[in-house]
A and B are shown apart, each in its own frame.
Chain A
Amino acid sequence: MDIKIHIEEADGNINTIEAPTDMSLSLMEILKASDYPVAATCGGMALCASCHVEVLDNTYNEEANDAEMDMLDTLPVVSNSSRLACQMPITEEMDGIRIRLMAEEVTG
């Protein structure tokens, strides 16, 4: 099935993209494919944090893995809802998720 992902831009505008759940893609890959400024320097290995996002709704509560938590620990700016998009597989539970891009290229 296809799910909807709502992306909040820096100016507050919300844009919605659709993503398939049956192609083993991560949220990072979908964002990159949709031309969002996600560098994904490490190719999705939780090593670079250039895919940092904030999950803005509280219905999605899949836990972050250790590698992801370690990486988030090294960042100067994070919130309780910070995640690495490359560590978030696209699943049906994610349908309707709202996120904000937080990578340094985006936040300056």
Chain B
Amino acid sequence: MIHTDLCIIGAGPVGLFAVFEAGLLKMRCHVMDVLPQIGGQLSEIYPKKPIYDIPGYPVVLAQELVDNLSKQIEPFNPTYTLGERVEKIERQEDESFILETNEGTQCHAKAVVIAGGLGCFEPRKPALEKLENYEGKGIDYMVRHPEKYTNKKVVVAGGGDSALDWTIYLADMVEELTLVHRGSSFRGAPDSAEKIFKLAEEGKLNLKLNSQVTALHGNGVLKECLITDKAGKAELVASDYFVPLFGLSPKLGPIASWNLNLDRNAINVNVEDYSTNVPGVYAIGDINQYPGKLKLILSGFHEAALMAQSAYRVVSGGKKASLKYTTVNGIQSF
């Protein structure tokens, strides 16, 4: 089990900056996120978009801001559990908490900070019957361990960048590769589209345009995908793995069942310290709600600072944090 002072749910900009504010007060942080990388909406939805309203930066690209936040919190050595969704928070008798992820990772923390943004980013799933039956038994919505496809028969679906990039990556290692795309051409990076057509020409890729996977067959584990084209012609393709890559979309997910006061998918908080109705649990950033709330990175940063002052009291058993400027003390790492 991981032991920490603050367990922060969500590695978006606000969760990351909370590590900094907590670190100044000598609180250790563990950060958990369902995405395999840090950055929240900035890295997932708009990494290359310029942001103009971060103080001190006339303009900064979203991914650049995430990279800088990550550098800024390095002195405080935060630890991370990435690629796992926090499912449960259980309050212990001594008022500490045990959090558990969908993969069974546990974290023991003196206080919890929910910086969950719009919720969990979850894969968009194709509308196929019995899809759930094959999850973990042949269907992967994200490529996490590409080596497992070595010498296997793989069907990838999608027409976006990640479908193209992974198809190109897998071409040399799998036994048989099929790419299924609903449309007749690929937009996006012309270079990737060119590579895809070249792989198909060389016979390394079975390219099915204007087609969709319409059924899954197997006996407990996936054996075949039925691929149907626009004219209605169907073909069974032997498949050890089906990898639908249709991007991610946010859903509130497990947060809804944590006994917190919710209002329209956001957590109600006390604006003095962004605490929730559960003592020791805070909610900052896009996930919280109060009169006048602005869903901006800037507001989340401010909330992180006030949260940290209050959480310090919880973590240190009632002591009040005294405000010290970083210009006076510098950044004292541990």
Q: Kindly state whether residue B183 has any CB partner on chain A within 8 Å.
A: yes
Q: Judging by beta carbons under 8 Å apart, are B159 and A50 in contact?
A: no
> Given the complex of chains A and B, what is the CA–CA distance between A42 and B118 in angstroms?
11
A42-B46 Cα distance, complex, nearest whole Å? 9
* Contact partner, B45, options A41, A73, A75, Cβ 8 Å: A41
Given A41-B118, A66-B187, A69-B187, are A74 and B46 also a contact pair (CB < 8 Å)? no
Q: Is A45 an interface residue (CB 8 A)?
A: yes
Q: Which of B143-172 contact A (CB under 8 A)?
A: 158-160
Q: Does chain A have a CB within 8 A of B302?
A: no
| C-alpha spacing A7/B181, complex, angstroms | 29
Q: In the complex, A76→B160 CA distance in Å?
A: 11
Binary A-proximity of B41-64 (CB < 8 A = 1, otherwise 0): 000011001000000000000000
Given known contacts A70-B160, A104-B249, is B182 in contact with A78 (CB within 8 Å)?
Answer: yes
- A56 interfacial contact with B, CB 8 Å: no
Q: Does A3 contact B (CB under 8 A)?
A: no
Please measure, in the bound complex, the distance between the C-alpha atom of A74 and the C-alpha atom of B182, giving whole angstroms: 10
Please encode chain A, from 44 to 64, with 1 for each CB lying within 8 Å of some chain B CB and 0 for all others. Answer: 010111100000000000000
Interface residue A106 (Cβ < 8 Å from any Cβ of B): no
A77 at the interface (CB under 8 A from B): yes
The number of residues on chain A lying at the interface, defined by a beta carbon within 8 Å of a beta carbon of chain B, is 17
B45 near A74: Cβ-Cβ < 8 Å: no
**B185 to A: closest C-beta gap in Å:** 10
Cα distance A24–B302 in the bound complex, in angstroms: 34
B84-121, CB under 8 A of A: which get 1 and which 0?
A: 00000000000000000000000000000000001000
Report A37 CB to chain B, min CB distance, Å: 11
A47 contacts B124, C-beta separation under 8 Å: no
Q: Verify if B125 is at the interface (C-beta below 8 Å from A).
A: yes
Q: Are A104 and B46 in contact (CB under 8 A)?
A: no
From B49, B160, B244, give the contact of A73 (CB < 8 A).
Answer: B160
Which residues of B226-259 are within 8 A (CB) of A?
244, 246-247, 249-250
A107 to B45, CA, bound (A): 21
Indicate whether A77 sits within 8 Å of B45 (C-beta atoms), given known contacts A70-B160, A104-B249: no
Cα-based distance from A66 to B185 in the complex (angstroms): 13
**With A and B bound together, what is the CA distance between A50 and B181 in angstroms?**
21
Cα A78 to Cα B124 in complex, Å, equals 12
Name the contact of B125 in the complex, choosing from A73, A76, A78 (C-beta under 8 A): A76
| B160 pairs with A74, CB closer than 8 A | yes
User: 9 closest A-B pairs (Cβ-Cβ)?
Assistant: A74-B160, A73-B159, A76-B126, A76-B246, A74-B247, A70-B187, A76-B124, A77-B127, A47-B45
Show 18 A/B contacts (Cβ-Cβ < 8 Å), sorted by A. Answer: A41-B45, A41-B249, A41-B250, A42-B45, A42-B46, A66-B187, A69-B187, A73-B160, A73-B182, A73-B186, A74-B124, A74-B158, A74-B160, A75-B246, A76-B124, A76-B125, A76-B127, A77-B126
Interface residues of A (CB under 8 A from B): 41-42, 45, 47-50, 66, 69-70, 73-78, 104
